[in-house]
Chains A and B, each alone.
Chain A
């Protein structure tokens, strides 16, 4: 399966959603660890926007390649970050990220019981996301 994990970070860098896909994936021991990863990533991302020595606009970190997997980051104009971890053969990740963003805009934003910037606990969002990810090769 191409997509391994998804993290969604709020504008302030808080982790509002995390899901691992596929079987037999390692879980971090402490659920707090995921929060720390998210917060650290948020700061690293901010750092990377300053690294560019050229006088051009810098988008900040877009992808992070590792030996067995790649991390992709989509930051929206509203400051949300969709972080998708895939295996190294995954193509078209930008389509995957923007589809996840659309699913978020449907099943989270239109849910009257969801409060902005809080952890996402919407079962229809989970369902739609699972259905979509299972179709991604």
Chain B
């Protein structure tokens, strides 16, 4: 759908109030730091909390995506993936991560953030050994995607599989589409 390719950039340019990236990064960093303190550095719990916060955001953020773009329902998961990266990430974070590692049944894919593109980790370094192994710093994004897709009746699982903050070459977020929630599709939709 050609609309998907351009609408994200259009919304970013014309319909978006902007703030400094540093304010955003510092705010997120402050939240993660506070969670680490509150959960006494139990990074499994921090990851879960970040995912939960992201999920709550996703349930709400989808309305802005639909309101500002008027995007109709996607006809394939590939379209959905395109919408997530070219529209979603573009209009909120002004980035277009790459898509890759599609499974044969087209129900699983990866969202790949080349180093230096993820605004959440701008100037962040994880120097605590255990945090490097266990913390998924950007885990909020996993929750956001899961929540947003659920509101358009796509149930999915999302998890990070690699992160530059953990020393990997790139940051990769895996999305697995489980099923379409047929019962929840609003009357009048296909």
Chain A: residues with CB nearer than 8 A to chain B?
11, 45-46, 48-49, 57-60, 75-80, 98, 101-102, 104-106, 109-110, 116
Contact = CB atoms under 8 A, between A and B. Distances in A.
A79 B63 CA distance: 10
Interface string B152-190: 100000000000000000000000000000001011111
Contacts of B189: 77
Interface in B54-113: 59-64, 66-68, 70, 72-73
B73 A109 contact: no
A69 B64 CA distance: 29
Contacts, number: 60
Given A116-B59, A116-B60, A105 B186 contact: no
15 contacts: A11-B186, A45-B187, A46-B187, A46-B188, A49-B187, A49-B188, A58-B188, A75-B186, A76-B63, A77-B189, A78-B186, A101-B67, A102-B67, A104-B63, A109-B60
B67 A98 contact: yes
Interface residues of B, number: 20
Would you call the interface of chain A mostly helix, strand, loop, or mixed? Answer: loop
A77 B67 contact: no
Interface of B: 59-64, 66-68, 70, 72-73, 151-152, 184, 186-190
Contact of A77 (B64, B66, B68): B66
Nearest to A43: B187
A102 B184 contact: no
A78 B70 contact: no
A46 B186 CA distance: 8
Contacts of B187: 45-46, 49, 60
Contacts of A78: 62-63, 66, 151-152, 186
